[in-house]
Chain A
């Protein structure tokens, strides 16, 4: 069997394109994944026009609130391209240089301030979108919606904070400016104390009963307004999220990305190589000669799967080493990586052997391997809840029967120290390796037909 393995490696070496692809593919994937997981996503470019006069402030009760730094906040969330006019903003969007334009109109602060008057107006900001690319348009939409939600929350908190300060003055008393003139507010607490001090001076009768009622009111109002402050604070963000995770702990995104990339490399290399090299035995007419006493059909299958495991292992380790400069991998788990790669390669190789034996021609096999591996790999990445129940059940059935998903689970478990155990996926892969091996053995019967 080792001579056949050597022969297959010699053939592989003789095809420079194949050999380069086998090395270049994992390196390229490693670099792409490495860059992708080590860089923040690019911010969308947005034209920004702030027409609000400098110095304009949101005011409550005649008091101007401090600046909230709108420009900085917006330009921190998107890449701002500052423009001087609305027309310029529209041109930028039309030309495609920016994905959208955000215009804060001149009267924005006035309209915000009108909210606390008897003639409230709706504050509006203008968003100009270029929806040529629906995905990017959705991204910008989401960013701007998020920005507006943050702005609304900020304004609400400022107003609530000012409202709370006034409530404090009513309850506890203190200093307060009106048109630049300081005014002292007595406050309910002090008022009640003064009234209580006056009470003994009054003889029992209707006047003292009336004073008692005022004291009661002041005390009651003070106590109830005390609880109003946290209530106002809650109104700015009435709902908070309490996240409870019921599934097994999910791996960090970078670990998952590496596992997906490594498993994809392993799947393509192993399935294509094993299926192709088996089909090549028939295309070169060597199969009947080999199996006429030189090697058994089972040994030939074993050699092909062994070839897939050897090359798949090399390619996947190369890919993991390529990712290392971008993400720190826990090399103390190398033994588990090996177990995941070897079991994954064995099951994927057996599936490749079944494909190669069934399709029999190298070109048909290559096409079939791509047509099966790519969609099944993509289906394996669809999370539950992303599609309807019946569709998801169908997807589960397909993905459970192909070794990509258990190989991905094994790889993720091997890479993630906090992840679930690797035993289940390894057992799943072992079962699939045996099942596909038997299928390949059955399909080989057709190979022998002269």
Chain B
């Protein structure tokens, strides 16, 4: 995909090695404002490594990352919150650390966005996993990022919590925030991702819409075309040698 002036986040030829093992093999990526991209692949595919490099937590051995229009927000897989502080105290701390001119205003904004205004004085440890994840994402948003990276955000959530989370994330994208999330749940990726990036053993195998992925599966693994998406995806990976 060619780079354009509206790209919120670009990555070129990313390589990351852990000893002899290549965790990422020349991965390219370009995401535009308001896009919701899912990075999918089996465990060990390199999803977390890719997101960590995009977030600036890990340095690539080769390649480069650019976010020309502003900062990239990052939401780690496990909630990075102080469990003994209240919802409001967590948000206020990170708003202050982000040097917001009026941190209390930012807190109110995030409480409204997460719908947790009525639980602002509750200690985070008492919140459900889903609500903790919403606060976790809200803290990522305090940086006012042009792109938000979510590392397996729905892990450990029950179906109801997951549905509320994706409704929240979709609303963010609708407001113009670029969202890149990683998951190994192909159904979730197909349902919520506007674009899918398939990784396996550090290689990017596919980059396109869910419909394009289904078309690729039909073409490369016709025997699995009528199966459910997960079975078809596994067949696709096998055809690609993974």
Residues of A participating in the B interface, judged by any CB pair closer than 8 Å: 3-4, 6-7, 10-11, 14-15, 284-286, 288-290, 292-295, 448, 450
Contact = CB atoms under 8 A, between A and B. Distances in A.
B96 interface: yes
Interface on chain A toward B: helix, strand, loop, or mixed SS?
Answer: helix
Interface in B61-97: 71, 74, 76, 78-85, 89, 93-94, 96-97
Contact of A292 (B48, B55, B96): B55
Contact of A10 (B76, B85, B96): B85
A14 B48 contact: no
Nearest to A294: B97
B85 A290 contact: no
B123 A284 contact: no
Given A7-B93, A289-B139, A450-B58, A15 B80 contact: no
Contact of A288 (B76, B83, B93): B76
B98 interface: yes
B76 A285 contact: yes
Contacts of B98: 294
26 contacts: A4-B93, A6-B93, A7-B82, A7-B89, A10-B84, A10-B85, A284-B83, A285-B76, A285-B78, A285-B80, A285-B81, A286-B80, A286-B81, A286-B82, A288-B80, A289-B74, A289-B80, A289-B94, A289-B139, A293-B56, A294-B98, A295-B97, A450-B52, A450-B57, A450-B58, A450-B76
Given A3-B96, A295-B97, A14 B57 contact: no
Contacts of B96: 3
Nearest to B81: A284
Interface residues on B, range: 20 to 34
Given A285-B80, A294-B97, 9 more contacts: A4-B97, A10-B84, A14-B85, A14-B123, A285-B81, A288-B76, A292-B57, A294-B98, A450-B52
Contacts of A294: 94, 97-98
A286 to B, nearest CB: 5
A448 to B, nearest CB: 7
Nearest to A287: B80
A448 B85 contact: no
A14 B84 contact: yes
A3 B82 CA distance: 13
Nearest to A448: B57
A97 B189 CA distance: 80
10 pairs of A and B residues whose beta carbons are closest in the complex: A285-B80, A14-B84, A294-B97, A289-B80, A3-B96, A285-B78, A286-B80, A11-B84, A450-B52, A7-B93
A283 to B, nearest CB: 9
A15 B84 contact: yes
Contacts of B139: 289
A79 to B, nearest CB: 53
Nearest to A288: B57
Nearest to B96: A3
Nearest to A450: B52
Given A3-B96, A7-B93, A288-B57, A450 B48 contact: yes
A233 B54 CA distance: 95
A285 B85 contact: no
Interface in B168-186: none
Contacts of B55: 292
A50 to B, nearest CB: 68
A294 B71 CA distance: 12
B101 to A, nearest CB: 15
B203 to A, nearest CB: 20
User: Which of B55, B82, B85 gathers most chain A CB within 10 Å?
Assistant: B82
Given A14-B123, A285-B76, A450-B48, A292 B84 contact: no
B135 to A, nearest CB: 12
A450 B52 CA distance: 8
A223 to B, nearest CB: 93
B39 to A, nearest CB: 15
Interface string B36-60: 0000000000001000100111100
Interface in B195-234: none
A3 to B, nearest CB: 4
Q: Which of B52, B56, B97 has the most CB of A within 10 A?
A: B97
Contacts of A284: 80-83
Nearest to B98: A294
Contacts of B84: 10-11, 14-15
Given A3-B93, A289-B139, A11 B85 contact: yes
A9 to B, nearest CB: 11
Contacts of A289: 74, 76, 80, 94, 139
Contacts of A286: 80-82
A289 to B, nearest CB: 4
A3 B95 CA distance: 10
A374 to B, nearest CB: 27
Contact of B97 (A3, A10, A11, A448): A3
A130 to B, nearest CB: 53
A4 B85 CA distance: 12
A421 B179 CA distance: 63
A10 B121 CA distance: 13
B82 A11 contact: yes
Contacts of A11: 82, 84-85
A14 B85 CA distance: 8
Given A292-B57, A450-B57, A7 B85 contact: yes
